[in-house]
Structure formats: structure tokens, C-alpha cells
Amino acid sequence: MFGIGLPELAVIAFFGVVLLGPDKLPGLAKQLAHGIKAAKRMGDSVRDDLRSSLGDDYADLELRDLNPRELVRRQVREALAERDDEDELDDESVEEIVDEVLTPATPDERKTA
């Protein structure tokens, strides 16, 4: 969950009780939960609107599919999978190639290109 473990949650809870007091903390947690649920509903609504607007071809659309990095990663994997039959690439080699393709160029590399 966002890279937060049990010790971090304990520290957050401790400071929450100290700063807000035990009386206000449950109400604040409830408001936070409602806010998170509302944001999730909005995201689901946007996804559903996009799916219906784009038609049947995009019925399985997920919002993460719209991330350009993921789009490129998927296309490179598919291209390498086609080559995989010929060259016998293993999964690690495919991931290394994908990461190399998606690594931004340094200013020196851009000058030579």
C-alpha cells in the first residue's frame, strides 16, 4: 500500500492521536475513507465513459493502458515476442531490451543522435 508498512502506519497513528486528539481522529479517518471512495468512483466513471465513447474495440480498456510508457512497453514486448520464436530470447533479455528502449537519453546522447 504505497510502500507504507506497519511501522510507518504506527507512527502516523501515534502522531494523529497526539496532534488531533482521540476524539477527532475517528471522524477524520471516516472523512478520508469517504474521499478515497469518491476518487475511486470518479476514476471508474471516467474509465466507463471512455469505454462507451470509444466503442466495442476498447471494451477492455484500463486507465493504465493510456500511460505512454506502458503502451510502448507493451508494443516492444509484442515485437520481441514475435522475434522470440526465431531468436530464443528469455524473459530477462526481453525485460533488459524493454528497459533500454524506455530509458531516457542523456543530453550527450541527444546531441549525437
54 plus 83 within the same structural domain:
no
Task: Give the model confidence (pLDDT) of 4-49 as tens digits.
Answer: 788 888 888 888 888 888 888 888 889 989 999 999 999 889 888 8
Range of the domain at 43: 6-58
User: Is the pTM above the cut of 0.75?
Assistant: no
Residue 83 has what pLDDT? 66
CB 14 within 8 A of CB 6: no
The x, y and z cell numbers of residue 90, run together, are: 528469455
| Alpha-carbon span 2 to 68, nearest angstrom | 22
How many domains, in total, are found in the chain? 2
Domain boundary among 58, 79, 95: 58
User: For 62-86, how does the pLDDT look when each residue is reduced to its tens digit (9 = 90+)?
Assistant: 777 777 877 777 777 777 777 666 5
